[in-house]
């Protein structure tokens, strides 16, 4: 399993996908070998998830540098040093170390995971050298309209995905729209494209008895846990809607709190707080260790998910943890996108367009009233159970069984 995002890397929910596969696959007949990057490549590290790695797991941490931090001069570096990404230096040692793992342990398959595209370069090289079947875990689309904005980087992304669709025995995505898009983009590989959504780790949801009270007793707290991207999760319409609802008297300034946890782009949010005079309504909070962040979700009065229309073929990984938390959810997203579809499938109807302040302003007072009267929608238990990481690992194990048995799997039939 080739994954850049692996403990002790700190930050982002993407680390959970590989980590939980590593935990659950052994009971399903598959023993993972991990090929990841040396921690020097990580901008920030934390030890809080290291104990979640099974003690028997073989881990190879290969030499890697971050071009922006290690190879720049006065903050500048050559473009080719960051294509397809800033960790392309990882490839050379990882291919060497990966072949050593293959020769030593004789694995049956290779799996690599995006969003660090270099992982797929490593997977392709190891597949060619070893002949083993390869699963390219795309998660989300790579080369998109307008992303990456740099044309040379976009071209490098396109080459990576072309190589993967040609060589991989299976290509995996985390949202139905991404599967459909890539089946149309690469019709010859359409039968090899499959859906394995993200999920939640049930064992991590432990609620200490002393932490059962609300985050802000006497107030209604909406929590957004995770990164707020300026484009993909633009918060401007939300701030404008909150300010308008307060001005109109439809929402009480004293009663409402909106907490952003580990948003990363705090400067942007702080500017919006000042612009809309919401200093006593909006809370900007630093990152927490993983399990503490989950406890915070359990204590929130409601959870806030944000996903713009330019990400209609993606579903925030955090959404599945929201479902497990069992709290009311307000979805600010395109009603036609995969995120909205996932919410509706789980029984959540409180959805407003992220890019429309008027739509949010129309929905927010009603949503808050439903919370206060205990009438807000809660996730359906069936949808929650289906989204567990154990369930997702069972799907991956079935795919591994099929590609190593040399069988052709009908589309989506995992």
Please say if the pLDDT value at position 6 is more than 80.
yes
The confidence score (pLDDT) of residue 211 equals 55
Q: What is the Cα 259 distance to its own chain's centre?
A: 20
Mean pLDDT of 148-164: 94
Alpha-carbon distance of 282 to 354, in angstroms, equals 18
Q: Is the dihedral angle over the CA atoms 117, 123, 128, 131 positive or is it negative?
A: negative
Asked, for residue 162, whether it belongs to a domain, the answer is yes
What is the DSSP annotation of 61-73?
EE----HHHHS-B
CA angle (392 as vertex; 387, 397 as ends), nearest 5: 165
Do the domain assignments include residue 5? no
CA angle at residue 214 from 283 to 277, to 5 degrees? 25
pLDDT value at residue 407: 45
Instruction: Name beta bridge partners: 100.
Output: none
Co-location of 170 and 208 in the same domain: no
Confidence of residue 169 (pLDDT cuts 50, 70, 90): very high
Number of domains in the chain: 2
Domain check: are 132 and 275 in the same one? no
For residue 289, cis peptide bond before it (omega within 30 degrees of 0): no
Average pLDDT value for residue range 283-291: 93
Q: What is the pTM of this model?
A: 0.89
Residue 320 inside a domain? The answer is: yes
Q: Are residues 168 and 225 in the same domain?
A: no
Statement to judge: residues 216 and 144 lie in one domain: no
Task: Looking at the structure, tell me whether residues 30 and 144 fall in a common domain.
Answer: yes
Query: Is the domain of 242 the same as that of 342?
Result: yes
pLDDT attached to residue 68: 78
Q: How confident is the model at residue 408 (pLDDT cuts 50, 70, 90)?
A: very low
Instruction: DSSP letter for 410, please.
Output: P
Indicate if 223 and 296 belong to the same structural domain: yes
- pLDDT 10s digits, 55-99: 999 999 999 998 878 877 777 777 767 789 999 999 999 999 999
Whether residues 215 and 256 fall in one domain: yes
Q: Give the confidence band of 149 by pLDDT, cuts at 50, 70, 90.
A: confident
6 found inside a domain: no
Q: State how far the Cα of 20 lies from the Cα of 405, in Å rounded to an integer.
A: 24
Does some domain include residue 412?
Answer: no
Same domain membership, residue 315 and residue 243:
yes
pLDDT over 90 for what percent of the chain? 86
> Has residue 8 been placed in a domain?
no
State the pairing for strand pair 282-285/302-307: unpaired
Q: What is the pLDDT of residue 73?
A: 75
For 347-356, the pLDDT digits (tens) are 999 999 999 9
Identify the CATH number of the domain in which residue 73 sits. Answer: 3.40.50.2000
Q: Which two tokens stand for residue 16?
A: 């959970």
Residue 246 falls within a domain, yes or no?
A: yes
For residue 2, tell me if it sits in a domain.
no
Q: Are residues 175 and 270 in the same domain?
A: no
pLDDT band at residue 207 under the 50/70/90 scheme: low
Q: Phi and psi (nearest 5°) for 275?
A: -60, -40
Q: Give the whole-angstrom CA distance, residue 72 versus residue 122.
A: 24
- Read off φ and ψ for residue 352, nearest 5 degrees: -135, 150
Is the domain of 159 the same as that of 284?
Answer: no
Closest listed residue to residue 198, CA positions, set 414, 396, 413: 396
Q: Which residue segment(s) compose the domain that 366 sits in? A: 203-386
Residue 113 and residue 174 in contact, taking contact as beta carbons nearer than 8 Å: no
φ/ψ bin of 226: left (φ > 0), alpha (ψ from -120 to 50), beta (otherwise): left
End-to-end CA distance of the chain: 20
Average pLDDT over residues 402-409: 70
Same domain? For 291 and 398 the reply is no
């Amino acid at each position: 399993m080739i994954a850049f995002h692996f403990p002790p890397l700190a930050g982002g929910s993407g680390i959970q996908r590989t980590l939980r596969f590593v935990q659950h696959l052994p009971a399903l007949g598959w023993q993972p070998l991990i090929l990841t990057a040396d921690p020097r490549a990580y901008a920030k590290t934390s030890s809080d998830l290291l104990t979640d790695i099974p003690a028997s797991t073989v881990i190879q941490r290969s030499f890697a540098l971050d071009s922006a931090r290690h190879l720049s001069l006065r903050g500048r570096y050559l473009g080719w040093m960051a294509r397809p990404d800033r960790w392309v230096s990882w490839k050379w040692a990882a291919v060497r170390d990966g072949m050593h793992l293959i020769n030593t342990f004789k694995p049956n398959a290779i799996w690599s995971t995006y969003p660090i595209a270099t992982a797929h370069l490593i997977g392709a090289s190891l597949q060619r050298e070893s002949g083993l079947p390869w699963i390219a875990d795309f998660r989300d689309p790579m080369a998109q309209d307008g992303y990456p904005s740099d044309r040379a980087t976009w071209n490098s992304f396109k080459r990576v995905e072309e190589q993967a669709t040609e060589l991989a025995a299976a290509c995996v995505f985390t949202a139905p729209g991404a599967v459909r898009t890539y089946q149309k983009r690469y019709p010859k590989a359409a039968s090899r494209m499959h859906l394995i959504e993200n999920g939640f780790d049930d064992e991590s949801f432990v609620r200490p008895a002393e932490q059962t009270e609300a985050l802000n007793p006497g107030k209604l707290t909406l929590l957004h846990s995770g990164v707020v991207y300026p484009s993909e999760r633009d918060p401007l319409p939300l701030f404008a809607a909150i300010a308008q609802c307060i001005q109109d008297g439809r929402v009480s300034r004293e009663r409402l709190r909106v907490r952003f946890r580990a948003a990363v782009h705090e400067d942007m949010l702080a500017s919006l707080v000042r612009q809309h005079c919401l200093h006593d309504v909006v809370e900007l909070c630093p990152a927490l260790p993983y399990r503490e962040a989950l406890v915070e979700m359990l204590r929130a009065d409601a959870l806030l998910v944000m996903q713009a229309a330019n990400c209609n073929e993606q579903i925030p990984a955090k959404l599945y943890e929201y479902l497990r938390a069992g709290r009311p959810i307000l979805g600010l997203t395109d009603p036609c996108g995969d995120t909205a579809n996932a919410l509706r499938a789980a029984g959540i109807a409180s959805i407003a367009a992220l890019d429309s302040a008027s739509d949010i302003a129309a929905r927010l007072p009603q949503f808050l009233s439903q919370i206060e009267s205990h009438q807000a929608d809660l996730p359906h238990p069936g949808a929650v159970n289906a989204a567990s990481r154990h369930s997702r690992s069972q799907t991956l194990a079935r795919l591994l069984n099929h590609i190593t048995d040399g069988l052709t799997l009908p589309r989506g039939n995992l």
